[in-house]
């Protein structure tokens, strides 16, 4: 029978305890780093919503101008850069476990709308290029007039889409811990009023465009380009 001395047993126990404590410390350190990273991503996600709010205001000004041009019977060749969301695109998954259901739904809806806004910008740009290209070759025709009308419909849809996006951005920023998008209750009523106001704004911009000479838009574009 092997005789294990007290000193040897003590050394074994110390070695096991040291290894266990090292493992626990490593787990705690890893957990702390994960928690700190998630908190940082959560903060950056909210900051990105603020940045997007400012960018959407820029888009609304752009589409306001396009609607006035359309109201005046014209088509603009101007274009604009789309929206970017690098934090959400690259790091949203890192914060996912720290978000509640209402936050996840709101974030995912907002950034889906960001993608749709960028698609709409490209669609408007493509229609403008088609119109100017065909007009240079064949002049105005009944078929091309229909394309011009389609361009105006895209501008209208984009204004309303951006207006909706801005409401969602500001609602989330105002309620970061619980952006409840349930259709019933005050938020749903407020959203409905917001969209009605946006539709009236579209009609007002189109009506205003009918009173403006298209040459004024061309002169303004030339001044902005210089």
Distance CA 182, CA 17 (A): 53
pTM surpassing 0.75? yes
Helix boundaries (H) for 139-184: 142-174
- Token match 């060749």: residue? 77
Predicted pLDDT of residue 9: 60
Contact predicate 49/169, CB 8 Å: yes
Question: Alpha carbon of 89 to those of 41, 108, 177: distances in Å?
Answer: 12, 11, 21
Distance CA 171, CA 25 (A): 41
> Contacts by 146-154 with C-beta closer than 8 Å and gap 24+?
148/75, 151/70, 151/75, 151/124, 151/127, 152/67, 152/70, 152/75, 154/120, 154/123, 154/124, 154/127
Per-residue pLDDT of 121-154, as tens digits, reads: 999 999 999 999 988 888 888 888 898 999 999 9
Predicted pLDDT of residue 29: 55
End-to-end CA distance of the chain: 98
Q: Where are the beta strands (DSSP E) in the chain?
A: none
> Residue ranges of the chain with pLDDT lower than 50?
1-2, 220-226
> Contacts by 212-219 with C-beta closer than 8 Å and gap 24+?
212/68, 212/71, 212/72, 213/72, 214/69, 214/72, 214/73, 214/74, 217/65, 217/68, 217/69, 217/72, 217/74, 217/76
């Amino acid at each position: 029978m092997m005789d294990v001395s007290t000193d040897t047993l003590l050394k074994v126990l110390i070695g096991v305890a040291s290894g266990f404590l090292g493992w626990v410390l490593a787990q705690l350190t890893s957990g702390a780093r994960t928690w700190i990273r998630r908190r940082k991503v959560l903060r950056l996600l909210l900051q990105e919503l603020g940045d997007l709010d400012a960018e959407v205001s820029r888009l609304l000004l752009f589409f306001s101008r396009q609607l006035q041009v359309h109201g005046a019977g014209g088509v603009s060749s101007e274009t604009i850069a789309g929206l970017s969301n690098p934090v959400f695109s690259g790091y949203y998954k890192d914060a996912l476990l720290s978000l509640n259901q209402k936050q996840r739904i709101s974030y995912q809806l907002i950034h889906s709308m960001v993608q749709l806004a960028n698609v709409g910008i490209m669609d408007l740009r493509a229609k403008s290029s088609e119109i100017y290209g065909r007009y240079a070759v064949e002049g105005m025709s009944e078929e091309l007039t229909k394309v011009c009308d389609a361009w105006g419909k895209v501008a209208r849809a984009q204004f309303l889409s951006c207006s909706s996006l801005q409401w969602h951005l500001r609602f989330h920023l105002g309620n970061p811990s619980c952006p409840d998008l349930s259709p019933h209750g005050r938020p749903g009523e407020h959203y409905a009023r917001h969209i009605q106001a946006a539709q009236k704004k579209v009609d007002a911009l189109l009506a205003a465009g009918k009173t403006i000479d298209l040459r004024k838009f061309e002169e303004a574009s030339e001044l902005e380009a210089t």
